[in-house]
Amino acid sequence: MNGSSVSKATLGRLPLYLQYLRRLPQLEDSTVSATSIAKGLSLGEVQVRKDLASVSGSGKPRVGYVTSELIRVLEDRLGHENITSAVLVGAGKLGCALLDYDGFEEYGVKIVAAFDCNEQIFPTGKNVKEILPIKSLPAYCEEHDVKLGIITVSQSAAQQVCNQMVSSGITAIWNFAPCCLKVPDGVLLKQENLALSLAYLNNQLYK
């Protein structure tokens, strides 16, 4: 596997490929081509070939990839066998929706705890987790060696929460607050702007 050359854009598409492959009939020694994956996901064939080659090498001519082997390679690249613990700060509607989502563990991440400044929030949903006070974040992260944090608080509170995460030893942050956060060197930050994504789709409707 040529993992060192995998771009961020390619990493972002790998879960799509894995999800598609898992939906295929899992027959012994069944194969799948980059062409069929591209068609099934409405992606460019050249892009799919490049992405798969960066993690699994080129498929066999006129055969493609052994489906089970490609699934294993993608799971390995996405950390399927090495579950990373994450904490979430902001137990409002969006935060609770993320807590209730089952799919993260399929891609190597497990939300192990949630924190909020409101200590009167009680967890709901099938994936019930205790809502802890935000003041206990540093001790929890140190005790459980948590390195990944998810922010689902308001825009006004996001930077303060981000700073608390960094000071608690978190080195990768997934931010859902509609603002650009500042993090020190060595801390990974992924911004998720839901309104911007919706605005993009709305704009495309009228082109």
- 88 and 160 inside one domain: yes
- Beta pairing partners, 111: 86
In a domain, 106, yes or no: yes
Please tell me the distance from the alpha carbon of residue 196 to that of residue 178, in angstroms, as a whole number.
9
Asked, for residue 123, whether it belongs to a domain, the answer is yes
Find the domain containing 60 and state its range: 3-77
Domain count within the chain: 2
Provide the pLDDT for residue 184: 96
Determine whether 15 is exposed, middle or buried from the number of CB atoms within 10 Å of its CB (0-12, 13-18, 19+): middle
DSSP secondary structure string for all residues of 49-98: HHHHHHHH-PPBTTTBEEHHHHHHHHHHHTTTTSPEEEEEE--SHHHHHH
For residues 104 and 185, state if they share a domain: yes
Domain C-terminal end among 43, 77, 111: 77
Q: How many residues does the chain have?
A: 207
Q: Which residue(s) pair with 189 in the sheet?
A: 173
Question: Is the whole-model pTM more than 0.85?
Answer: no
Q: Is 129 left (phi over 0), alpha (psi -120 to 50) or beta?
A: beta
Residues 163, 66 share a domain: no
Q: What are phi and psi of 113, to 5 degrees?
A: -160, 155
Identify the CA nearest to 130 among candidates 96, 170, 154, 166. 96
CATH classification at residue 48: 1.10.10.10
Q: How many helices (H) and strands (E) does the chain have?
A: 8, 8
Residue 88: closest CA among 151, 31, 29: 151
Question: Are 62 and 133 in a shared domain?
Answer: no
Of 56, 60, 62, 71, nearest to 25 by C-alpha is 71
Query: CATH code at 118?
Result: 3.40.50.720
In a shared domain, residues 118 and 160: yes
Looking at 54, 77, 100, the residue that finishes a domain is: 77
205 within some domain: no
* 103 lies in the same domain as 193: yes
Q: How far is the C-alpha of 69 from the C-alpha of 79, rounded, in Å?
A: 15
Residue 207 lies in a domain: no
173 domain-assigned: yes
Q: State whether 91 and 29 are in the same domain.
A: no
Identify whether 154 is part of a domain. Answer: yes
Tens digit of pLDDT at every position of the chain (207 positions):
444 567 878 888 999 999 999 999 877 789 999 999 999 999 999 999 999 999 987 777 778 899 999 999 998 888 777 889 999 999 999 999 999 898 888 778 999 999 999 876 665 555 556 789 999 999 999 999 999 999 999 999 999 999 999 999 999 999 999 999 999 999 999 999 888 888 888 888 887
CB 44 within 8 A of CB 80: no
Same domain? For 64 and 129 the reply is no
Q: Are residues 100 and 188 in the same domain?
A: yes
Domain boundary among 29, 45, 77: 77
122 plus 175 within the same structural domain: yes
